[in-house]
Structure 1
Amino acid sequence: MDQWKQAKHLVLKGYCFQSIDHLLYFSTIEFRDYSNSLENVIKFCEVILKNISNWINFKHLKIGTGYILDTKTIKRVLNLQPTASPQIHSIPNTNLVIQFKRGNRHSNSLEITKN
């Protein structure tokens, strides 16, 4: 049954993927409490950026964590470029931006959006 391919939005809690092939049908995805490590968040972002050209319907991806993100490390590793807004950074060679958002005192999220 391929009915799930018609869905547009996906919300997942505490799940980590080895492959994103099955996510490419969704236009928006929200991960809540995605991972317990910064390394996993960065690796997942790298996989997303590597495969973004195959993600035809992509509009928005939110990765929420249960901890404060090290935004300096993410900016450095992903080679993010500053924009006019201090919380929004462009991703080189794409039409995407990453926005860092502060949640409560124990969490952050990052959102990748088509510009």
Structure 2
Amino acid sequence: MGEERHPIRILQRARQIRHDISHKRGMCVESAGNTIIDWLEAGNPIAPTPRQMIGLLDQFPHDELHRTPTRVTHTNSPLPYQFPNDWIETVKTHIEANEPVKKSAPLCSKK
């Protein structure tokens, strides 16, 4: 699958069209450079025909979105940068100080 036809790219292009409709009074501005949806013209109103809308639905990544996501394997490798030790201790202290409060907070109060 080419970079431009990747499911995320199709959703990004749909977002640009939605943005132009919502914030640019329906004029094709942000979505003008779109190569997936070729019926958009810069500076013209976005007014798709029913055939164009069906074509958009045909491009929608149904199979990709219905698949169960795969988990990313977690690693314990160190970060590629160093933090000052005093900053790390400050963060740890803050987390430890706030964690018990979150755990012991009642879900609801009974009267």
> Where on the TM-score scale, by shorter chain, does this alignment land: which range?
under 0.3
Q: TM-score, normalised by structure 1?
A: 0.22
Q: TM-score, normalised by structure 2?
A: 0.22
Which structure has the higher relative contact order (CA within 8 Å, separation 6+)? 1
Flag the structure with higher helix content. 2
